[in-house]
Amino acid sequence: MRARRCERALGVSVPKAIDRKFTALACEVNEAVTSSLVLEDVLLAVSERIAGALDVWECDLYEYYPESGSIVFSAWWCPDMENEAGDQQVGTIVAHADRPNYWPVLDEGKVLQFHIDDPTLDPEQRQLMEKWGEKSLLAVPLVNKGSVIGCVLLAEKRAVRKFTRVDVELARMLTVPAAIAITNARMYRHQEEHSRQLDALLDSLRALTSLVDQDEVLNVVCRKTAVALGSDECVIHEFDPAADALVFRAIHERSDPNAVSDLIGKVNPLDEYTNDRSILFEGTVLEERLSDPALPERVRADMEKWGEKSCLSVPLTFGDEPMGLLVLIETSRDRHFTPEEVDLVRGLGEQASVALHRTNLFREQEEHNKRLVGLFETSRSLVSQLDAHQVLDRVRWEVADLLGLNDAAVQVRLRAEHDSYVSPAVALGSGETELGANAGAPEGPPGKLARQAIAGLETVQGIVRGKSRLVVPLVLKGRSEGYLDISGAGARAFTPSECELVQILASQAAVAVENARLYQMIELQAITDGLTGLYNHRTFYERLAQEFARAQRYGVPLSLLMLDIDDFKRFNDTYGHPLGDDVLAAVGDVLRSQLRCNIDFAARYGGEEFAVLLPNTPRVGAEAVGERLSREVSKLLAEGADEAVPPARRDGAFVVGERIRLAVEAAMVASDDDRTPAHVTVSVGVAAYPDAASSSDELVQNADKALYLAKHLGKNRVEVFVS
């Protein structure tokens, strides 16, 4: 029965001569190789199992890449691995042409045997076998979906061994799941490489939008390109039209990533490098390999001089303007770059092109306009600013100063819901800013110029009601996140230089506003519980320390409620955890609705337990608070709550706890079948300073004791700790 299962799993016929022990080994190989996506682990498991199954001294695994005609020694196993030299060979790349005896295995999927005592053995094969002390070899292809992806070499070093048909069939059987697993692991590795390449592209984009120093951007692009492609070196040259030369601008070397090259700034005339000129002006990608017999002799001499085995040169252009070259260099291997890798290098090269273009623009503007220095200083401060309101205030002031206007003439609009554009006060919340007239400007749909700027993602200007108008979009990730609406004095036109400067500032502002938004979001996530929206455990203790210190300093009371949902585990077991999450969220809503806004403080303490701080609320004697909350409780009772607040216990903290308890009890959460409403109750423990605690820790401990008493006395009740 097990043999038949193996036949079905492996897709081959199991010869009757192979006994059950070998069939079980085949199943073990199948299970072992499918338990991991790490290619090295898969190959090692295959090597060990196959060597053990056929009782050979050594098993070597090779991966085959037909597109490059190369064979990679990927894994091996033998009983005495410490004294063998196999580990030193792992990773070695062998050209297909250097192993002609294996062509029938790799190209035709044949199984071959080689024996040292065979007088017809090829001399080159005999030399290799003698070098490694091999007496006999069995070469078996690794085949998946009709394609050979590698081969297994079974080496016997103890004596000459003639492999039988049973040995061959068993080896074939064991390589089937191995080939499948290797294919899967390759796909997984390819996906990891793809993800790494995307990360490199995103990192370079982030550097481009967040760094002002373009040399640093080039270094980032250089490093990320080399890492993403796994190359030994990456170099960026800038084209200098005036000198008709390439200037060495950035380099990253994998062997010494922190090295500062003395080649930076070196000028190489294009007349000395005709290939570079054609790449630069014709926009072609050139791959040069030392092993290529058609490689020009001058190029070959240069590559040999610098120890280069492969080079990939990609032109850097901005629009139709040549900007330079990005060159990937391999010094340790003869490499062929795939079309996907070339496309990635082109994408990364675009970032270097933009960086080079910005550098040139900066140089021109620095020479002709001293105001640019102050503009970039402002940009740096915008990028580091973490308050969106302050960012926009600074932008308005800088634009007005740049154009010689009153800052009230610069309006800011940000994208809101349904692609509407509103003032920052509406889009971001009021905040304590100096938006002045801008904050209170009337809302309305974008005008004609604004619509053109938003649609075209470019600066648009015109004359409106006798005054010059300039609309500059705030572009981020290919879409307008807002715009600057600038009203000039009179009907004069804004110059191209002014428009360009404002657009640069707007681009930096868009990134800075997004950074500020992300920072505020992260800051909020750090202090709140994601499920209930209440503050988290850590924030509760920070607030507790603050409120307790304030209560001590000013001699005011402070009460603490500890709430726990009754029988919550049983609720989850009955209705399921998704509905349990809904209950936790609903309790959070109840707490927010029953507490004083911006005064009381509610937090998720942990699991199904909550904590509520009531500043300036005593355990007894809070007449005004008690009266107000008693009326609220009466309203809840009139709506059908089960029990009333005992008249004798009219203190503030107790009434708040009772009100929360009744609100939770009255709330209903629809169950998954949308028919049966689910109810929960809470038990509440109350403790107060100074009556029942002399420290913040003691306040928590005593509230917890009161909560335990409420649980012990039947749950769904409020108990107060009395010292």
Count of domains for the chain: 4
Least confident of 251-260, 306-315, 564-573, 712-721: 251-260
Q: Give the 3-state secondary structure of residue 640.
A: coil
Least confident of 185-194, 379-388, 424-433: 424-433
Q: Which residues contact 707 (CB under 8 A, 6 or more apart)?
A: 562, 563, 564, 683, 684, 685, 719
Cα(38)–Cα(45) distance, rounded to whole angstroms? 11
Q: 212-216, 436-440, 608-612, 620-624 — which one is most confidently predicted on average?
A: 608-612
Residue 73 lies in a domain: yes
CA distances from 151 to 67, 74, 76 (A): 16, 10, 12
Residue type for position 438: N
Question: What pLDDT is recorded for position 634?
Answer: 33
Does residue 611 contact residue 653 with C-beta atoms inside 8 Å?
no
Q: 82-91, 351-360, 373-382, 707-716 — which one is most confidently predicted on average?
A: 707-716
Residue 321 lies in a domain: yes
Region 661-674: mean pLDDT is: 60
For residue 403, pLDDT beyond 80: no
Residues in the chain: 723
Cα within 13 Å of Cα(565), Cβ side: 27
Q: Which two tokens stand for residue 626?
A: 């008690």
Region 615-637: mean pLDDT is: 45
Q: How confident is the model at residue 33 (pLDDT cuts 50, 70, 90)?
A: low
Q: Are residues 551 and 679 in the same domain?
A: yes
Q: What is the pLDDT of residues 272-313, one digit of tens each?
A: 777 888 888 888 889 888 888 888 888 888 888 888 888 999
Least confident of 249-253, 316-320, 677-681: 677-681
What percent of the chain is modeled with pLDDT above 90?
11
For residue 115, pLDDT beyond 90: yes
> Which of the listed residues 155, 190, 225 is the one where a domain comes to its end?
190
Q: Are residues 281 and 137 in the same domain?
A: no
Structure letter (DSSP) for residue 535: B
Residue 199 lies in a domain: no
Q: Give the 3-state secondary structure of residue 285.
A: coil
Buried b / exposed e over 259-284, threshold 16 CB at 10 Å, is: eeeeeeeeeeebeebebbbebbeeee
Q: Are residues 671 and 576 in the same domain?
A: yes
Q: 184-193, 350-359, 447-456, 545-554 — which one is most confidently predicted on average?
A: 545-554
- Greater confidence, 672 or 70? 70
Longest dimension (CA), the chain: 111
For residue 159, pLDDT beyond 60: yes
Q: Are residues 8 and 128 in the same domain?
A: yes
- Greater confidence, 92 or 575? 575
Region 22-38: mean pLDDT is: 59
Does residue 653 contact residue 684 with C-beta atoms inside 8 Å?
no
Q: Are residues 710 and 578 in the same domain?
A: yes
Q: Are residues 466 and 561 in the same domain?
A: no
For residue 440, pLDDT beyond 80: no
Nearest partner of 108 among 161, 154, 151, 138, judged by Cα? 151
Q: Are residues 336 and 457 in the same domain?
A: no
Residue 417 annotated among the catalytic residues of the structure: no
Q: Are residues 262 and 293 in the same domain?
A: yes
Residue type for position 226: A
For residue 628, pLDDT beyond 70: no
- On the 0-12 / 13-18 / 19+ scale of CB atoms within 10 A, 38 is exposed
Residue 201 lies in a domain: no
Q: Which residues contact 190 (CB under 8 A, 6 or more apart)?
A: none
- Greater confidence, 634 or 44? 44
Question: What pLDDT is recorded for position 327?
Answer: 92
What percent of the chain is modeled with pLDDT above 70?
74
Region 195-208: mean pLDDT is: 58
Q: Give the 3-state secondary structure of residue 160.
A: coil
For residue 153, the enclosing domain spans: 2-190
Region 89-112: mean pLDDT is: 77
Question: What pLDDT is recorded for position 625?
Answer: 32
Does residue 653 contact residue 720 with C-beta atoms inside 8 Å?
yes
Q: Are residues 243 and 148 in the same domain?
A: no
For β-strands 682-689 and 718-720, DSSP reports them as parallel
Q: Cα–chain-centroid distance for residue 24?
A: 43
Cα(480)–Cα(157) distance, rounded to whole angstroms? 71
Q: What is the pLDDT of residues 412-439, one digit of tens each?
A: 888 877 777 887 877 776 543 333 334 3
Q: How confident is the model at residue 631 (pLDDT cuts 50, 70, 90)?
A: very low
Average pLDDT of the chain, as a whole number: 76
Residue 198 lies in a domain: no
For residue 570, pLDDT beyond 80: yes
For residue 611, pLDDT beyond 90: yes
Question: What pLDDT is recorded for position 359?
Answer: 72
Query: What's the chain's Rg over C-alpha atoms?
Result: 37
> Which of the listed residues 366, 385, 411 is the one where a domain comes to its end?
366
Q: How confident is the model at residue 558 (pLDDT cuts 50, 70, 90)?
A: very high
Does residue 699 contact residue 558 with C-beta atoms inside 8 Å?
yes
Q: Which helix (H) or strand (E) holds 511?
A: helix 496-527
Region 55-60: mean pLDDT is: 89
For residue 621, pLDDT beyond 60: no
Question: What pLDDT is recorded for position 699?
Answer: 92
Q: Are residues 358 and 393 in the same domain?
A: no
Residue 46 lies in a domain: yes
Least confident of 287-291, 320-324, 361-365, 565-569: 361-365
Q: Which of left, alpha, beta for 465 (phi over 0: left; psi -120 to 50: alpha)?
A: left
CB atoms within 10 A of CB 411: 18
For residue 395, pLDDT beyond 90: no
Q: What is the pLDDT of residues 205-230, one digit of tens each?
A: 555 555 556 677 788 888 878 887 88
Question: What pLDDT is recorded for position 203?
Answer: 61
For residue 2, pLDDT beyond 50: no
Q: Are residues 593 and 547 in the same domain?
A: yes
Residue 75 lies in a domain: yes
Region 513-537: mean pLDDT is: 80
Question: What pLDDT is recorded for position 198?
Answer: 60
Q: Are residues 508 and 597 in the same domain?
A: no
Q: What is the pLDDT of residues 447-497, one digit of tens each?
A: 788 888 888 888 888 888 778 888 888 888 878 778 888 887 776 777 777
CATH number, residue 131: 3.30.450.40
CB atoms within 10 A of CB 41: 16
Question: What pLDDT is recorded for position 344?
Answer: 79
Q: 304-318, 577-591, 647-661 — which one is most confidently predicted on average?
A: 304-318
Look up tokens 């949308």; give the residue. Answer: 674
Would the CA dihedral through 276, 278, 279, 285 be positive or negative?
A: negative
> Which of the listed residues 133, 160, 190 is the one where a domain comes to its end?
190
Q: Give the active site residue among 238, 288, 608, 665.
A: 608
Strands (E), 583-646: 601-606, 609-615
Question: What pLDDT is recorded for position 396?
Answer: 79
Region 131-143: mean pLDDT is: 89
Question: What pLDDT is recorded for position 191?
Answer: 64
Q: How confident is the model at residue 116 (pLDDT cuts 50, 70, 90)?
A: very high
Structure letter (DSSP) for residue 691: T
Residue 196 lies in a domain: no
Would the CA dihedral through 713, 715, 716, 718 be positive or negative?
A: positive
Cα(107)–Cα(143) distance, rounded to whole angstroms? 11
